[in-house]
Amino acid sequence: NAGVTQTPKFRVLKTGQSMTLLCAQDMNHEYMYWYRQDPGMGLRLIHYSVGEGTTAKGEVPDGYNVSRLKKQNFLLGLESAAPSQTSVYFCASSYRLAGTGRETQYFGPGTRLLVL
Amino acid sequence: KQEVTQIPAALSVPEGENLVLNCSFTDSAIYNLQWFRQDPGKGLTSLLLIQSSQREQTSGRLNASLDKSSGRSTLYIAASQPGDSATYLCAVRLGSGNTGKLIFGQGTTLQVKP
């Protein structure tokens, strides 16, 4: 059981380049999330998904797109990277315990992105 | 808009000391509150989750309390050890209709010196 994995671990981009970050989970979780973590600002939600084929905007969605074509994968795309998108990106997945609403998010190890 | 604040931003204590980390939030209409641990260069690991109807949760040397009416939570670490050195983040989940969206504090970086 690998849990939540993220690819790549580290990437350097030039301004204007595009890239896709991949998140995969093998726990059959319905919900998946993309966060970014910046110094002194905690984690902020970019986009999330409540199931295969569905996505929704989080707190800071501008400049990012996502897709959830398969239940186990959640992709985060940057169409035209900007220096302000230099950050550490975390993916998380979760399920909701039936009857309780209790939900715990499991996080991946993160992807460090540097945009020059 | 819900805001979560953690004070202090950094804390250094000698091994064996008991310590308290603080978390405050501006809107008491939360579904639950979680404390996470983050080691350098790693992802987050959930430590404790307190539902809005609960007052505290305990796991080993960790005890988390929640006072929803005052918008505060504390994480108490007993008999601290060097292995406890990490960044601790609290996060509140908004109401039940908000599908697990978490609002995080900035974190408190703890160093426990041998």
| Position A97 confidence tier, pLDDT thresholds 50, 70, 90 | confident
**A110: closest CA among B72, B43, B75?**
B43
Q: In chain B, which residues have their Cβ closer than 8 Å to the Cβ of A45? A: 101-102
Q: What is the pLDDT of residues A17-26, one digit of tens each?
A: 999 999 999 9
Q: What is the pLDDT of residues A31-54, one digit of tens each?
A: 999 999 998 778 999 999 999 999
B73 phi, psi to nearest 5 deg: -140, 150
Q: What is the DSSP string of A28-80?
A: --SEEEEEEE-TTS-EEEEEEEEETTEEEE-SS-TT-EEE-SSTTEEEEEESS
Q: What is the reported pLDDT for A2?
A: 76
Q: Give the A window 31-60 contacts with B, CB below 8 Å.
A: 31, 33, 35, 40-45, 48, 50, 56, 58-59
Q: What is the pLDDT of residues A60-83, one digit of tens each?
A: 999 999 999 999 999 999 999 999
| Residue B106, pLDDT above cutoff 80 | yes
**Token representation of residue A21:** 């970050």
Q: What is the reported pLDDT for B97?
A: 60
| Position B1 confidence tier, pLDDT thresholds 50, 70, 90 | confident
Q: What is the reported pLDDT for B94?
A: 81
Cβ A109–B43 below 8 Å, yes or no? yes
pLDDT above 70 as % of chain A? 97
Q: What is the reported pLDDT for A88?
A: 96
Sheet containing strand B72-77, edge to edge, reads B4-7, B19-25, B72-77, B62-67, B56-59
**Token representation of residue B88:** 């601790």
CA–CA min distance B102, chain A (Å): 8
Cβ B93–A33 below 8 Å, yes or no? no
Cβ B31–A102 below 8 Å, yes or no? no
Q: What is the pLDDT of residues B30-75, one digit of tens each?
A: 888 999 999 988 889 999 999 888 999 999 999 999 999 999 999 9
